[in-house]
Amino acid sequence: MKDNYYIGVDIGGTNTKYGLVNEKGEIIFSGSFNTKLYKNPKDLASDIYYDYIKKSNEQHIKASGIGIGAPNGNFYSGCIEFAPNLNWGENIPIVHIFSEIFQLPAILTNDANAAAIGEKFFGAAKEMKDFVVLTIGTGLGSGIFANGNIIHGKNGYAGELGHTTIAESNRKCSCGRIGCLETYVSSRGILQTYKEKCASDVRETVPDDMTTKEIYNLALRGDEIAIETFKTTSEVLGRSLANLILILDPEAIFLFGGIANAHPILIPTITEVINNNVLSLFKDKVKILPSALINKNAAILGSTALFYLKDN
Ligand SMILES: [Zn+2]
């Protein structure tokens, strides 16, 4: 049988990566581009095309289609809509652009859905029909599988868990509203929590560019404020996930994204808070797990898996 290969493209505000992926989820070759250097998405797609053609000629492999994962990527319209970190206008017809340049069919979804589809086809959710993947990084996204299907919603916007509001927060969100979950559960949110806790201590000013990884490393070394910061983050997330569990009854919730690397410190508190906040029949029913693709490019893999989802 002839192998099928698809191109997966992960468009991010800082970097855009692509890879040629086989049916086993192995990346045959890949490339990375600095998104900020491109004034328009056509130039970016052209550069990816030339890189792909060069490498595919060397290896004598051709792709059958292009899956694209992008922030605010809409599965139905094929457009990236109102993405705050991309400066290419409000409505970017990315599917049209890529399919014209590559002369191949293209499909788009948002990056969190791509991660969830990647988990389903190449990760730890192969046998699961009901699960959620949380992508925790600059923001908080979620990709939801229910009854074996990814949930797009009526308009393609389903899964905006990061912008559900929580009672604990009066922080301003990047979306312009006040009190979104991602004002606590994201790199920016974690830094703010750490800063607030440090302000009540006698510490020097916390630098604005301190990373979640640095705060996590402090926690691993026993720094109490850093440990408390992750505890607060886990508690806030745990209470939100308890509500999500009551609605969806998932088998597992996977943590994905840079911050998910802190899962050894996050998961015990999240699990405890969930158990304290769900109906007793849900207790210990839902597994909170690190994504099996945590150190791989799940968005590239998941974007290509869009084609398998379509075939099913
Ligand atoms: Zn928001």
CATH code assigned at 277: 3.30.420.40
With respect to residue 1, please indicate whether it lies within any of the assigned structural domains. Answer: no
With respect to residue 123, please indicate whether it lies within any of the assigned structural domains. Answer: no
Is there a single domain that holds both residue 43 and residue 164?
Answer: no
pLDDT tens for residues 191-243?
A: 999 999 998 876 777 888 899 999 999 999 999 999 999 999 999 999 999 99
312 pLDDT tier (thresholds 50, 70, 90) = low
Is 99:93 a contact under the CB 8 Å cutoff?
no
**Cα-to-centroid distance, 307 and ligand 1 (Å):** 31
Question: At residue 16, does pLDDT exceed 80?
Answer: yes
Is there a single domain that holds both residue 155 and residue 266?
Answer: yes
For the chain, the domain total comes to: 2
Is 287:251 a contact under the CB 8 Å cutoff?
yes
**Cα-to-centroid distance, 41 and ligand 1 (Å):** 26
**Cα-to-centroid distance, 256 and ligand 1 (Å):** 19
**Cα-to-centroid distance, 160 and ligand 1 (Å):** 9
Give the pTM.
Answer: 0.91
Is there a single domain that holds both residue 50 and residue 100?
Answer: yes
Is there a single domain that holds both residue 81 and residue 186?
Answer: no
pLDDT tens for residues 21-63?
A: 999 999 999 999 999 999 999 999 999 999 999 999 999 999 9
295 pLDDT tier (thresholds 50, 70, 90) = confident
Domain containing 164: what range?
Answer: 128-290
Is there a single domain that holds both residue 145 and residue 46?
Answer: no
**Cα-to-centroid distance, 232 and ligand 1 (Å):** 19
**Cα-to-centroid distance, 58 and ligand 1 (Å):** 45
Question: At residue 176, does pLDDT exceed 50?
Answer: yes
Beta bridge partners of 133: 143, 254
**H or E element in which residue 57 lies:** helix 41-59
Is there a single domain that holds both residue 110 and residue 151?
Answer: no
Is there a single domain that holds both residue 142 and residue 93?
Answer: no
Per the listing, tokens 């998104």 go with 35
Token digits of residue 46: 């052209």
**Cα-to-centroid distance, 182 and ligand 1 (Å):** 7
pLDDT tens for residues 235-271?
A: 999 999 999 999 999 999 999 988 999 999 999 999 9
Mean pLDDT of the chain: 93
**Cα-to-centroid distance, 49 and ligand 1 (Å):** 35
**Cα-to-centroid distance, 104 and ligand 1 (Å):** 35
Question: At residue 14, does pLDDT exceed 90?
Answer: no
Is there a single domain that holds both residue 74 and residue 135?
Answer: no
Token digits of residue 106: 């293209």
Please give the Cα distance from 297 to 291 (Å, whole number).
Answer: 11
